[in-house]
Amino acid sequence: MQKKIVLSLALCFSLVSLMIGGCTYMQNKTAAAKTFPLKPITIIVPFSAGGGTDLIARALEKVAPKYLAQPLVVINKPGGTGTIGWNELASSNPDGYTLGITALDLIVQPLYGPTKYHYPTALEPLVQISNSTFIMVVDAKEPWQDVAAVINYSKEHPRELTFGHSGIGSTGHIVGEAFASTANISLRQVPFRGASEAATALLGKHIQIAFMAPASVKEHIKNGTLRALAVSSKQRLTDPALSHIPTFTEQGLDIALNNPNGVAAPKGLPPEVKAELGAAFKSIISDPEFKNMIEQLGGQIEYLDSKQSEAQWLDDSKKLTKIIEDTGILERIKEQKN
């Protein structure tokens, strides 16, 4: 009888040990699997608060905790047409805790001359989020109802009209210079530190024209303080509040340029961290709440994964090189920078 009791107790102790060991193993396995992210992730916006790129980051910030289990913290680093923010991103520790929003300017800036980093190779894209366009806007009190009216006025009043953008050599600057070159008119450009400053200057009548992302001017167009004359995309926007705006090509001008936005990291991310971030951002972009926010900003979701984004960067670089060389914009921008 005593032997049976001893055997039973030994068996119980063995089972308990196995259970405890199994639980410990599972806990260790779970802890090992969840090694990233363990703290908030900083996401650098290389433009001022309130602009289209910043608003995309704010939309990410709102939805991200559901998929990353950690908050995204948006930090604005405006200046240098994005180069200040991207310089900081490129020099950051490639541990996944510092990311940055990308825009077409990331491709453009190295085309004008040496930058501290060659961003397409110093950074690696994680995802492309959306594709946007540029809207040519004027104050609603101005008499111009279409692009042709602006062209005619400018020809009668050479170099009287000024256009604003978010920095020398920015993509908004390129669209403005492309418009002037294609229309064979002379406009004076005025750079600002960000899109919100350019919009304020336009509303204050310090400039007459601006080339802006939809997110920066949509509400002004809706409430009637700004009038939209053209979009730089090949097709009209699908947003009901902006779908009435004709493209440049519809108005006889060969101008077509989009502005893709995405998320990038410093080169050298650990593969498992890159995979974790890539999967999380894919889920964020697919989230109905996030999609709705981007559409409300006048953007259109266009997801690309890391490899696809990298290929897109190469294609955009070739396209932009041709645009700025064929139109003579490169030399003008170099002169204006100097």
At 90-142, the pLDDT tens digits run 999 999 999 999 999 999 989 888 899 999 999 999 999 998 899 999 999 99
Establish if 190 belongs to a structural domain: yes
Establish if 15 belongs to a structural domain: no
28 falls in which pLDDT band (50, 70, 90)?
A: very low
Total domains in the chain come to: 2
Of the candidates 293, 225, 222, the residue with the CA atom closest to the CA atom of residue 261: 293
Cβ atoms of residues 214 and 113 within 8 Å: no
Query: Helix crossing, 171-183 with 329-337: angle to 10°?
Result: 130
C-alpha pair distances (Å), 273 with each of 3, 94, 97, 128: 55, 10, 10, 17
Establish if 139 belongs to a structural domain: yes
Per-residue pLDDT for 314 more than 60?
yes
Q: Are residues 117 and 263 in the same domain?
A: yes
The range of the structural domain enclosing residue 211 comes to 135-258
Picking from 217, 241, 258, the residue at the C-terminal end of a domain is: 258
Q: Are residues 155 and 183 in the same domain?
A: yes
pLDDT score recorded for residue 266 = 98
Q: Are residues 159 and 127 in the same domain?
A: no
Please report, to the nearest 10 degrees, the dihedral formed by the alpha carbons of residues 109, 111, 117, 119 taken in order.
70
Q: How many CB atoms lie within 10 A of CB 109?
A: 22
Cβ atoms of residues 309 and 125 within 8 Å: yes
pLDDT score recorded for residue 34 = 64
283 falls in which pLDDT band (50, 70, 90)?
A: very high
Establish if 216 belongs to a structural domain: yes
Per-residue pLDDT for 264 more than 80?
yes
Establish if 151 belongs to a structural domain: yes
Q: Are residues 236 and 147 in the same domain?
A: yes
Task: Tell me which of 283 and 325 has the higher pLDDT.
Answer: 283
Q: Are residues 180 and 283 in the same domain?
A: no
The set of residues, in sequence order, having a beta carbon less than 8 Å from that of 301 and lying 6+ positions away, is 129, 130, 285, 291, 294, 295
Establish if 197 belongs to a structural domain: yes
Q: Are residues 120 and 166 in the same domain?
A: no
Q: Are residues 252 and 267 in the same domain?
A: no
Mean pLDDT for the stretch of residues 158-177:
89
Picking from 202, 231, 258, the residue at the C-terminal end of a domain is: 258
pLDDT score recorded for residue 29 = 34
Amino acid (1-letter code) at residue 120? P
Q: Are residues 142 and 199 in the same domain?
A: yes
Picking from 217, 235, 258, the residue at the C-terminal end of a domain is: 258
Establish if 21 belongs to a structural domain: no
CATH number, domain at 229? 3.40.190.10
323 falls in which pLDDT band (50, 70, 90)?
A: confident
The SS3 call for residue 9 is: helix
pLDDT score recorded for residue 329 = 77
Establish if 334 belongs to a structural domain: no
Q: Are residues 143 and 233 in the same domain?
A: yes
Q: What is the bridge-based pairing of β-strands 41-45 and 72-76?
A: parallel
Q: Are residues 210 and 62 in the same domain?
A: no
CATH number, domain at 303? 3.40.190.150
Q: Are residues 267 and 127 in the same domain?
A: yes
